[in-house]
Structures are given as C-alpha cells and as structure tokens.
C-alpha cells in the first residue's frame, strides 16, 4: 500500500453546469490532521465523494492507501475497511435504535467493533437506547462519528463533523481526532468553521470554486503573518500616536494596527519613552486563520 493515506492527483469532477472540482492535487500523510476549507459550493463534498468512490471523477484520480476506489473495483473493499466517514448530513434507519444502527454498520467489518463502540459512545455521551430517528441533528452527528470510528480506521474523513454539536462534545471530538492521528491515522477534516481547522489541523487546503487556492502548514502560515498590535492609550487622541502608526480605533476603544517590523524591533519601539509613557495596556497577537482567509476572500472580491 502507498505511504500516502489520501491522494488527489489532478482530480476533476465536473457537473453539466460546470461546477464541481477542477484539477485538485493534494496528499495527506498518515498521522496528519488535514483541514479542507472553502465556502459553500466550493467543491469540498464533491471531492470527498470522488475520493471515497461514491461518485466517478471526470478526470484525474483519487486514492486511499494507493487504491483508487472509483477504478480499482477488486480492491475497493480492502481500502474501505480502512476508512471511516462522517457525512455532512447523517441519516438513520427509521425505527431502529442507536445501538441497532451501530451494530448494523459495524457488522460489515470483520473485526469486532463492540468494545471501541462502547468506549466512543461513552466519551461523546451518546445514548444508545434511543430511537435513532428521534435524535437531534447533534446526536445524529454523534452517531455518525461513532460509526466512522468504531472500527479504528486508518483514514478518517469528516465532512462538517461539528455542526450541531455542543461545545463540550466538539472539544471531545477534537481530542479524539488528535488521538487517532497520534496513533497513525490520517484525518481529513472538511469544515466551514475556520477556527476549528486552525485548532486541530496540521495543514489545510483552501478550495475556491472547485480549485485549490491555498495549501499550507497552518502554523507556518500564522507565523509568517505580521503581528497585530492592540494598545490602550491614556489619551487616544494623542496626535503623536496617531501620526506614529497607521492605527485606527477598534470597537473596544483600543488603537489597533498591523506591525510592519519584526517582534524585537516592535518591542524596542514600544519601549521608547515617547510611547511607553502613553500606553496603559498592549496586546501583541498573530491574526487568526479565519481573519487571513476572510482577508483573502475580500482581496479577491475587490479584484
């Protein structure tokens, strides 16, 4: 099997209207948590479906552990035995309980899934005695998460997994993802919520109109960004300060600007007498991934 857990090689899936995914190339390694972000209709779910053999690509290929699920029919089951998938809109069998639904889905695997299933249900607080068709969206998501993980997959694909989950369960889910990645699984995490991607993903790809717009290591991207300075001054109308920076007042009454110099130089500048005496509080921070993505969207829209 390939060392790449997930590989998209110039994958295209184009629908008659022209939308879909175009020439997508990216790889996910074992042990990596990979974020897949983009606005609605960017083609995230289309790419995932093509990867998992649910739809046929119109060009290129996608594979799991080197097996192309759309073409290599003989080895499709072999690859899917390694895959766990949380769809964006999980469904349930009407009239069945959570336990029955999970037992049915687990029954397609040769391995006994019961022990891990019980552990997962306990961790994300899923009541297995309830009828599945009476569950809220959040609980249906929990069911889908357990169903995707109870056979200890080495490739875990999640399409908008956190929608409908309460903050505690979300936190537990992210902890679980980090754990399975530490154990060697590749986690492919599609989300609208960029802050989630920032907190759990090692790398991420930004998809726009079906095309790969950005593929970077999350921490590298954040580190490369200039620091943002938020400072509270004794007198915010101080003309010296206003002329010193391109600062503008924010909603909290602080002056805010993006530093154009490296951290040591910035600290030195702030420590100067002229400034230090005027500042009552200062916060230095990297912009969030969400801000960067939104900034890029705005820039492209302006062009």
Partner 1 sequence: MREARPLLATSAQVRHVISLELSLSIRSLVSWVLPVGALLAMTLGLQKSMSQAGSAFELKIRMMPRPMLAAFGMEHINLRDPVGYLATNWSTITLITALFASLLGATLASRESASQLSETLYTQPIERHTVLVGKALAGVLVLLAFNVTLSLVGWVTYAFAGVAISRPGAFVSVFAGTFLVHTTVFALSILAAVSAQHARSASSRALGITFGLYGLGMVARITERADKLKYLSPFSYADASDIAQTGGLQARVAVLAVATVALLIAAIVRLNRNDMGV
**Strand, coil or helix: what is 43?**
coil
Is residue 1 near partner 1 by the rule CB under 8 A? Answer: yes
Is residue 105 near partner 1 by the rule CB under 8 A? Answer: yes
Contact 50, 74 (CB under 8 A): no
* Strand-pair category, 203-208 with 33-37: parallel
Helix (H) / strand (E) element for 208: namely strand 203-208
What span, in angstroms and rounded, lies between the C-alpha atoms of 42 and 1?
Answer: 30
Binding mask 193-212 for partner 1 (x = CB under 8 A): --------------------
- Of these, 147, 187, 241, 289, which contacts partner 1 (CB under 8 A)? 147
Phi, psi angles (nearest 5°) of residue 225:
-75, 145
- Closer to partner 1 by CB, 38 or 53: give it: 53
What span, in angstroms and rounded, lies between the C-alpha atoms of 293 and 198?
Answer: 11
Q: C-alpha angle 236/240/243, rounded to 5°?
A: 95
What is the 8-class DSSP label of residue 244? H
- Closer to partner 1 by CB, 151 or 247: give it: 151
What span, in angstroms and rounded, lies between the C-alpha atoms of 18 and 25?
Answer: 19
Residues 69-98 that bind partner 1 (CB under 8 A): 76-78, 80-83, 85, 87, 89-96
Is residue 49 near partner 1 by the rule CB under 8 A? Answer: yes
- Closer to partner 1 by CB, 162 or 218: give it: 162
Residues 231-260 that bind partner 1 (CB under 8 A): none
Is residue 144 near partner 1 by the rule CB under 8 A? Answer: yes
Q: How far is the CB of 215 from partner 1 (least distance, A)?
A: 24
What span, in angstroms and rounded, lies between the C-alpha atoms of 158 and 174?
Answer: 11
Which stretch in 49-57, 201-209, 222-230, 242-250 sits in contact with partner 1 by CB under 8 A? 49-57
The site for partner 1 (CB under 8 A) is made up of 1, 3, 5, 15, 30, 45-46, 49, 52-56, 65, 76-78, 80-83, 85, 87, 89-96, 104-105, 107-111, 144, 147, 154
């Amino acid at each position: 099997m390939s060392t790449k857990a997930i590989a998209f090689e110039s994958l295209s899936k184009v629908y008659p209207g022209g939308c879909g995914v175009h020439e997508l190339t990216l790889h996910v390694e074992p042990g990596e948590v990979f974020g897949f972000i983009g606005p609605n209709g960017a083609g995230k779910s289309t790419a995932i479906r093509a990867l998992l053999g649910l739809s046929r690509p119109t060009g290129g290929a996608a594979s799991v552990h080197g097996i192309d699920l759309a073409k290599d029919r003989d080895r499709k089951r072999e690859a899917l035995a390694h895959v766990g998938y949380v769809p964006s809109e999980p469904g349930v069998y009407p009239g069945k309980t959570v336990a029955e639904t999970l037992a049915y889905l687990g029954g397609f695997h040769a391995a006994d899934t019961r022990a891990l299933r019980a552990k997962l249900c306990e961790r994300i607080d899923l009541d297995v005695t309830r009828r599945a068709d009476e569950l809220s969206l959040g609980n249906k998501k929990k069911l889908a998460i357990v169903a995707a993980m109870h056979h200890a997959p080495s490739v875990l694909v999640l399409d908008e997994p956190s929608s409908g989950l309460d903050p505690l369960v979300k936190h537990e889910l992210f902890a679980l993802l980090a754990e399975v990645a530490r154990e060697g699984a590749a986690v492919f995490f599609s989300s609208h919520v960029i802050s989630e991607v920032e907190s759990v993903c090692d790398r991420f790809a930004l998809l726009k109109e079906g095309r790969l717009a950005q593929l970077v290591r999350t921490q590298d991207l954040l580190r490369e960004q200039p620091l943002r300075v938020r400072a509270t001054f004794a007198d915010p109308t101080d003309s010296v300060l206003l002329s010193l920076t391109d600062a503008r007042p924010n909603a909290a009454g602080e002056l805010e600007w993006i530093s154009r110099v490296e951290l040591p130089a910035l600290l030195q500048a702030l420590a100067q007498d002229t400034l230090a005496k005027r500042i009552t509080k200062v916060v230095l921070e990297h912009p969030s991934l969400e801000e960067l993505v939104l900034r890029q969207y705005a820039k492209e829209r302006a062009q």
